[in-house]
Amino acid sequence: MTTTGFKTAKALAVVSIASVFLLTGCTAARNAKPNDPAYAPVMPDYAAQNQSSQGAIYQSYQRVSYFVDRKARHVGDILTVNLVEKTTASKKAETDMDKSSNHSFTNPVLPAPFTNTADLAATVQGSSATKGAAESDQSNSLSGNITVTVTSVLPNGVLRVRGEKWMTLNTGDEYIRISGMVRYEDISPENVVPSTKLADARITYSGTGSFANTNEPGWLSKFFIGQLWPF
């Protein structure tokens, strides 16, 4: 194989490997489907009890207290999360450095019997300058509501919640997935908690279908604008 052919084969191999990584990275987002076990609801941790009413207002098997609000507190209970995410970031940096130096050395006078047979005078000059500027602005906003399920209750009373919402449109699907931990005290009497009160929150808003694919560059474009491109 000639040198040119070897370089071409090597370049094609690099592009192929990079393409595999890029396609693997975008496949997970595009192939998302409903009923993911990681966001599936959890059934209550107690068996349903078929007991007949004794005529009283309070029944022990209902696990309901008439002195507190009807808020999520047990595994399997549902809770509405109000999405109020809004982030704004701005960063600006400027650097300007300038340094210069100038040194002169005169011709030395040699004592007798030596004579100046050469000009030993010298001048040394040097300068350096560095200038750079960077600016970054980013803003994100997400609003809406999603109802999730309590999956477990920690010993300290914190609730683990998770859930997903899928909306089928004429050009594809859009979905919201969320998981995190909620304090019972942060839940309102209406059984609603803002997303800003979720600890260890994981919120995903994305879509599938032709509309989502159109807004995403192809794998070759990702290669040229990604970190794998050496130039």
Extract the tokens encoding 219: 């794998």
Q: Which pLDDT band holds residue 158 (cuts at 50, 70, 90)?
A: very high
Residue 129 maps to a domain: yes
Non-local (6+) Cβ contacts of 181 within 8 A are 154, 158, 159, 160, 161, 198, 199, 200
Residue 124 maps to a domain: yes
Residue 154 maps to a domain: no
DSSP H helical segments within the chain, as ranges? 3-30, 210-214, 219-225
pLDDT of residue 66: 58
- Cis before residue 111, ω within 30 degrees of 0? no
Residue 197 maps to a domain: no
Question: Which 3 state secondary structure label does DSSP give 158?
Answer: coil
Do 127 and 89 touch, CB atoms closer than 8 A? no
Residue 3 maps to a domain: no
pLDDT at 14 over 80: no
Smallest CA-to-CA distance from 198 within 159, 157, 144, 225 is with 159
Which range of residues forms the domain containing residue 112? 91-135
Lowest mean pLDDT among 66-80, 85-99, 113-127, 186-200: 113-127
Q: Where are the beta strands (DSSP E) in the chain?
A: 78-105, 122-153, 159-169, 172-182, 192-194, 199-208
Question: Which 3 state secondary structure label does DSSP give 197?
Answer: helix
Residue 42: other Cβ atoms inside 10 A: 15
Residue 63 maps to a domain: no
Give the mean pLDDT of 32-61.
69
To which residue do tokens 């001048």 refer? 123
Quote the number of domains for the chain.
1
Q: Between these two residues, 209 and 158, which has the higher pLDDT value? A: 158
pLDDT of residue 134: 82
Q: Which pLDDT band holds residue 22 (cuts at 50, 70, 90)?
A: very low
pLDDT of residue 128: 79
Residue 114 maps to a domain: yes
pLDDT at 4 over 80: no
Q: Between these two residues, 103 and 111, which has the higher pLDDT value? A: 103
Cα separation, 26 vs 48, in Å, equals 43
Lowest mean pLDDT among 25-29, 45-49, 63-67, 216-220: 25-29
For the chain, what is the mean pLDDT? 76
Residue 178 maps to a domain: no
Q: Between these two residues, 39 and 119, which has the higher pLDDT value? A: 39
